[in-house]
Chain A
Amino acid sequence: MIDVQNLTKTYVGKTAVDGLSFKVEPGEVVGFLGPNGAGKSTTMRILTGFLSPTSGTARVNGFDVFHQSIDARRSLGYMPENAPLYMDMRVKEYLQFRGAIKGLSGSLLRKRVGEVMDACALTEVRRKIINNLSKGFRQRVALADALVGKPPLLILDEPTNGLDPNQIRHVRELLLAFKGRQTILLSTHILSQVEQTCDRVLLLHQGKLRADDTPQNLVRKLRAASDLHLEVSGGTGFEEHLAKVTGVRKITAEKQEGNWSHFTLRIEARTDIREAIFDLALKNRWQIRELRRELPTLEDVFVELTHV
């Protein structure tokens, strides 16, 4: 659905996107991650034909985004950052206008506008002027606009930016409902959302692709160390004993609760020392009340790969 080859975009004195290549297959939901200024929005603007690439090519639905821009634009629905809308129009009127310039007309236009207003829960505000709507509603109007032409591809730039937790959940449920039927490329900073909705993650940093994998694989392959929480009692000198276990990098003594000592062990990546700890406790006749491994999250991956 999307085929990007060696895409580069240079502004005066600054490279925003640097030799980016990736593919998105039909039906995939792909999360576009990266710190602010990593080149996500620039890439999306090139894909939607708003900007031209300095070099390299990008195809959407088989159409070159620069040379066959109109055909490429017909195959996608785009929701820019901050959901820009015409503030002086009414919701239904705006969606009808957008549907019409995307090539719909007559009864089909009316049907599609009704459908997207239903899907985005906009029916009750359809007569309101957009300027008077709350941020959450505006975001949904922009999403409805992206959907109205029934494009095979959706490109959403931070669709949940500035929404409250309920609205974020609503958008997430909408996206999950499209899953499998619709190809989606979305950028976001909410990593939990990516873990729940995306089949694949593209991580961008300083214009370059740093990672391209499923969220699960990314976390699994992470080089970052993980933490182990341990609460023991019935002995002394826990720290000396624990330090001898191979794979322990650092031991931090947490609060003491009566007889119970709480430790946080930083352990080497891709090692599991829980059995070794159990054996150690058995040998020294310690009691264990908690032994919990904290798995690294996508957030840790993000920080690790984009940390300057």
Chain B
Amino acid sequence: MRTFLILLTRELRSFFYSPVAYVVIALVMIINGFSFRAAVAILERGPQQGSLVSWTFHSQWFWLSYFFIFPLLTMRLFAEERKLGTFETLFTAPVRTWQVVWSKYLASVVLYCLIWVPSLANFFIFESMTAGATEIPHGSLYGIYLLIFVMGLFNLAAGCFASALTSNQIVAAVLSFTISLMHYLLGVFVLYLGRRIPEQFVELVHYIATVEHIRVFTYGLLDSRPIAYYLSLAFVFIIGTHQVLEFRRWRV
């Protein structure tokens, strides 16, 4: 456990040694400002279905920030160690593979949480500025942030996996972006196909559709199925990462 904490601290520090952490936090703050402003603009037009929360997370701005976070946070994790050769010093020290994998993954998760904190502040600042004149449904606000958290767990795990596969950070970023985007598009494509496909298939795709999850959670509903879905996917990718790193010690 002590070794794990030491590794985790190093990983977290290493995010802040490079400009990556600051740039990502700043960019997401700006983009979230846009999506928040877009939601306010919609509400200004008159009574609408949906709340400030649901409009914020349905804007295109939100998706813009969503996709570039994961590659930026995870591409460095394993690829850089492979490139520098520090893999060898790391794994010849008395550390276990799971300690390395989880410390890197958790470091990216911590930073991911940090990134979303300023956007949460948007809502509270707005609430206090308008002296309660706007209604912000707190249930759906906490719901959506819970969903963003578990979606992050999955996408970051996929990013770790991509980073473990290669020594080139660009390749890792492209892979990670592709996994996140393909998963998203899988959920979107039924919207375009409409009802020309069997009902059961639509049901199945709704189960994995990120957009649908966001719709449900921004309406203040807590659905345990997406949470279980994202957590298990995250787990699968972390196991995959572990296996990729252990591969060199396989006896075939």
A residues contacting B by CB (< 8 A) are 45, 48-54, 66, 70-71, 73-74, 76, 78, 80-82, 84-89, 97-98, 100-103, 105, 142, 145
Contacts and interface: CB of A to CB of B under 8 A. Distances in A.
Nearest to B3: A101
B86 A84 contact: yes
Contacts of A142: 89
A288 to B, nearest CB: 57
A86 B14 contact: yes
Nearest to B91: A50
Contact of A80 (B6, B10, B88): B88
Nearest to A88: B17
A96 to B, nearest CB: 10
A52 B89 contact: no
Contacts of B88: 45, 48, 50, 78, 80, 84
Given A50-B248, A88-B17, A97-B10, A103 B86 contact: no
Given A78-B88, A88-B14, A102-B94, 5 more contacts: A51-B249, A52-B249, A84-B87, A85-B84, A97-B6
Nearest to A74: B94
A84 B85 contact: yes
A82 B94 contact: no
Contacts of A102: 93-94
A254 to B, nearest CB: 48
B84 A73 contact: no
A153 B87 CA distance: 20
B84 A86 contact: yes
Given A51-B249, A52-B249, A86-B86, A101 B6 contact: yes
Interface string B92-112: 111110000000000000000
A78 B89 contact: yes
Contacts of A98: 89, 93
Contact of A103 (B7, B92, B94, B96): B94
Interface string B197-210: 00000000000000
25 contacts: A48-B92, A49-B92, A50-B92, A51-B248, A52-B249, A52-B251, A53-B251, A54-B252, A66-B249, A74-B94, A78-B89, A82-B85, A84-B85, A84-B87, A85-B89, A86-B84, A86-B86, A88-B18, A97-B6, A98-B93, A101-B6, A101-B93, A101-B95, A103-B94, A105-B2
Given A50-B91, A88-B17, A101-B7, A70 B96 contact: yes
Interface of B: 2-3, 6-7, 10, 14, 17-18, 84-89, 91-96, 248-252
Nearest to A47: B92
A52 B248 contact: yes
Contacts of A78: 88-89, 92
Contacts of A50: 88, 91-92, 248-249
A49 to B, nearest CB: 6
Contacts of A105: 2
Could you say which of A49, A71, A86 has the most chain B C-beta atoms within 10 Å of its C-beta? A86
A103 B14 CA distance: 21
Contacts of B3: 101
B89 A84 contact: yes
B86 A73 contact: no
A240 to B, nearest CB: 61
B75 to A, nearest CB: 15
A223 B114 CA distance: 70
Contacts of A48: 88, 92
A172 B3 CA distance: 33
B199 to A, nearest CB: 49
B85 A73 contact: no
Nearest to B6: A100
B84 A84 contact: yes
A73 B94 contact: yes
A73 B251 CA distance: 19
B91 A85 contact: no
Contacts of A87: 84
Could you say which of B84, B92, B96, B252 has the most chain A C-beta atoms within 10 Å of its C-beta? B92
